[in-house]
Amino acid sequence: MTAVSSAKRPRVRFAPSPTGFLHVGGARTALFNWLYAKKYDGEFLLRIEDTDRQRSTDESTRAIFEGMEWLGLTWDEEVVYQGANVARHYADAHRLLESGAAYRDFTPQAELERLRAEAEARGDAFKFDRSLADLSDAELAQRLANHEPYAIRFRVPEGTTEWPDLVHGRIAFPNKDIEDFIILRSDGTPVYNMAVVSDDIAMGITLVMRGDDHISNTPKQILLYRALGADVPQFGHVPMIHGTDGKKLSKRHGATAVGDYQHQGLLPQAMLNFLALLGWSPGDDTEVMTVPQLIERFSVHGLHAKAAVFDTKKLEWMNGQHLAQIPVAELAAIMAPLVERAGLSTVADLEARHEWFCGVLELLRIRARLTDEIVQQAKPFFVESVEYDPEAVSKQWRDAAATSDILDATRERLASLEAWEPAAMEEGLRKLAEERGISGGKIFQPLRVALTGLTVSPGIFDVLRYVGRDRSLARIAEAVAYLRQST
């Protein structure tokens, strides 16, 4: 591993192509760069690589912005659009041409395709032969005078190109295995490697951290940096993300876009925590971390070289941990719009009943993994009447006559209480059970169905407290009427 240089303030970047939504793999790469910048007092930049005009869309660009903003991965300077820098890319390619580090290639596309097909027929990998582009000064002048189209190819020198990768250690490529690659097409547009290097130099990038599917691009880019007389940044190539079946993460594994998870009941801080652990470890068994803790503990020494596994169940577990741990007032601010969207209340009403709402959330969040589950579990605390789950009725209200009698006695005992507090409720109902010679469960379980319509809920006395006296007594009366009507 290479130590972080203190000579320059770190400048890192995330450079997605706007040809689709923000993928979880891209979000993870952005996160690692963002954590690095935060940890080492650096700057995190965003570049939209929109030079592919046919596939780049404004919709995809917006999706990238929205996904990063939801995650809180804010960038430090104005967004750079690669397509706006084509003139510089062109100029840099011609600088290499003038220095002799690159040359013109007039070879027609049809000829290149024929040579490639012949190589494939022989079972060989096609590699451009520099001699194809050799022209005398007179031939070159004539072709330029005729305005014949040409590409510009980089002249790969002899030797080996290597670098100390922050993740993989030393990586080396024999230059003989790298063909003289095109840096400017015959239509004057730059290829990926040329545009990236030109932009990274202009942006002062000191570390390029990206997926390890880019490793094969790195030797070409290092050669371009050197030929342009620029400092070569550090490189770190993080592992790919696989599904639980060990194959590269794709739509067959479920949602792969960050925006999908944003609308599936996940907290952004939980998503960040989960993504951080895909290819990085804090050095111990700690898994649940806040964003400040991630920044504090982040180190390139914790980056892994092996592929990471995206496990949706682990993500939901992680979300549940964050739901349980964040300050309840912060959770209330997140949940209020969701409760309003579900038609259960309004944000204004919840703000007016803030203490009550926080109390309800304290009951529910320990039983939920997703914010959507909290909304579902919150329904009994808001609606006037509950719907009875058929399984709950068959299990807890099997003997309708006996159950209605118990619930009627329960309502009377609760109505007689002076204080609507859990301790008084429990004392009163346990005493009722003792008087009737039955266990407390014979009262509590039918009562739970009457109050919530379900067999599972927070503690029954907490439910009574937060549903409230009048609404609780009314629901028990409704249950009694329902049971007596069914007998």
What CA dihedral angle connects 39, 45, 51 and 53, to 10 degrees? 100
Q: Alpha-carbon torsion 307, 310, 314, 318, what sign? A: positive
- Tokens matching residue 66: 């929205």
Q: Is 468 left (phi over 0), alpha (psi -120 to 50) or beta?
A: left
Q: What's the maximum distance between 2 C-alpha atoms anywhere in the chain?
A: 114
Helix-, strand-, coil-residue percentages of the chain, each rounded to 5 = 55, 10, 35
3-state secondary structure of 323: helix
Relative to beta strand 160-165, strand 80-81 is unpaired
Q: Are residues 261 and 21 in contact, defined by beta-carbon separation less than 8 angstroms?
A: no
Q: Which residues pair with 190 in a beta bridge?
A: 184
Task: Give, for 141, the enclosing helix (H) or strand (E).
Answer: helix 137-145
What values do phi and psi take at 182, rounded to 5?
A: -70, 135
Relative to beta strand 234-238, strand 207-211 is parallel
Active-site option among 8, 251, 306, 442: 251
- Tokens matching residue 274: 């989960």
- Tokens matching residue 49: 């690589």
DSSP annotation string for 44-89: EEEEE----TTT--HHHHHHHHHHHHHHT---SSPPEEGGGGHHHH
Task: Give, for 161, the enclosing helix (H) or strand (E).
Answer: strand 160-165
- Give which of 139, 130, 133 is closest to 106, Cα–Cα: 133
Residue 379 among the catalytic residues: no
- Give which of 182, 172, 163, 184 is closest to 226, Cα–Cα: 163
Residues with a known catalytic role = 251
